[in-house]
Chain A
Amino acid sequence: MLIRKSISDAHHTALEEIAGPGTWLDGKTRNQVILESRHSKDCALCQSRKNALSPYAIDGLHDAVSDLPTDYIEVIHRISSDSGRLTQSWFNRLRPEMPAEVYIELLGIIACGVIMDTFAEGTGQELSPPLKARQGEPSRITNPNVIDAGAWLPILDVKNVPSNTGLPSTPNIARALGLVPTAIDLFFKVMRKHYSLSDMEFDLSRGQTEMLAARVSSLNQCFY
């Protein structure tokens, strides 16, 4: 199968990084995030909520495959299975027990894992197992360079200028994980190999690419 080396290399690098200590989570926990995210498809509660008119009308416990805290599992399963119906009220209920930085690190790993797993499923390949977790303490370095821009959490503070794409030089999506800069690095190390505003080597026209992007965004009920 003609899978581009740039993509398979990026996925392998991401799995290596996930298996090591992050900024707020250790390698074992980060690997468990990948496994829990995958398992959300088989979770009865997630399926009930997904099929419900309102996911907030269904209570219960998630089927977990790890010993992660229950609030981590709620975040991982909900974002993986039904992110389009998340609201700020849901997010606020998670706090203050879950530090914003931990939430962001979880989110970055979930999103990275979703890309890798969706690609594997779409190409008919087996899902890659997480790599062996490496020992080590999270750095716990906070990033003060963030700003309130109207999202649920502060995002990266940057000086923006218009670019030739008509978008700001650093659009909000590149700033969203700003509380944990290593999460930005991890996520875009993978994402950049799947999509770029310019210099893509894909055998698709720009129109075909943007049509797919827009359709998937719509299926995910994504306003951004």
Chain B
Amino acid sequence: MLLRRSGDRTQTSFNLGKLTNTSSLDIGIANEATLLTLADAIVTGSKTMIQTARENAFSELGEQASLDAVAVIAGFNGITKVANGTGLPLDPETHNSTVAMRTETSIDQYSESNKLQTWG
């Protein structure tokens, strides 16, 4: 999760738990509620939810930033298919340096071993 590295670089501490719904505290990113609502609507919502979220984003962030947000959301909706569809392990360096973050965010629940245990 590069958000953690981004925070390290600017000496900012982010509450990453909200990203995986393991914490209700704000993350600490500008416009986070609007952007997260947009991401949730596009990945899991109906056309109406997407339209509402997009209009709110246009109003709060402006058109270009909102469309750029949609671009990032779309990109990661695709690239996660590559990772999930190949059972891709973390790079060794990342695996070793993200132990605490994975615990904080419960990301380990998405690991191959956990998925195998849950669904076989």
Contact = CB atoms under 8 A, between A and B. Distances in A.
Do A and B pair up? The answer is yes
Interface of A: 1-4, 7, 54-56, 79-80, 83-89, 91, 104, 107-108, 110-116, 118-119, 121-124, 149-153, 155, 160, 162, 165-168, 171-173, 176-177, 187, 190-191, 193-195, 197, 202-224
14 contacts: A1-B63, A111-B81, A118-B42, A118-B74, A152-B86, A187-B82, A191-B75, A194-B72, A204-B68, A210-B5, A211-B19, A213-B76, A222-B83, A224-B90
B85 A223 contact: no
Interface string B10-28: 1010101001110000010
Interface string B54-75: 1000000111110111111111
Interface of B: 1-3, 5-7, 10, 12, 14, 16, 19-21, 27, 29-32, 35-36, 38-40, 42-44, 47, 50-51, 54, 61-65, 67-91, 93-94, 97, 105, 107-112, 115-116, 118-120
B82 A84 contact: no
B79 A223 contact: no
Nearest to A219: B43
B71 A107 contact: no
Given A107-B85, A221-B115, 9 more contacts: A87-B115, A107-B81, A122-B70, A151-B87, A152-B87, A166-B97, A207-B6, A208-B30, A223-B111
Q: What is the predominant secondary structure among interface residues of chain A facing chain B?
A: helix
B16 to A, nearest CB: 7
Q: Which applies to chain B's interface (DSSP): helix, strand, loop or mixed?
A: helix
A124 B67 contact: no
Given A83-B84, A176-B82, A224-B88, A115 B67 contact: no
A165 B5 contact: yes
B12 to A, nearest CB: 7
A155 to B, nearest CB: 7
Contacts of A207: 3, 6-7, 10, 12, 14, 29-30
A162 B88 contact: no
Nearest to B1: A214
Given A87-B116, A220-B77, A210 B68 contact: no
Nearest to B28: A207
Given A115-B75, A118-B74, A215-B36, A79 B85 contact: yes
B72 A91 contact: no
B68 to A, nearest CB: 4
Contact of B68 (A171, A190, A202): A202
Contacts of B116: 87-89
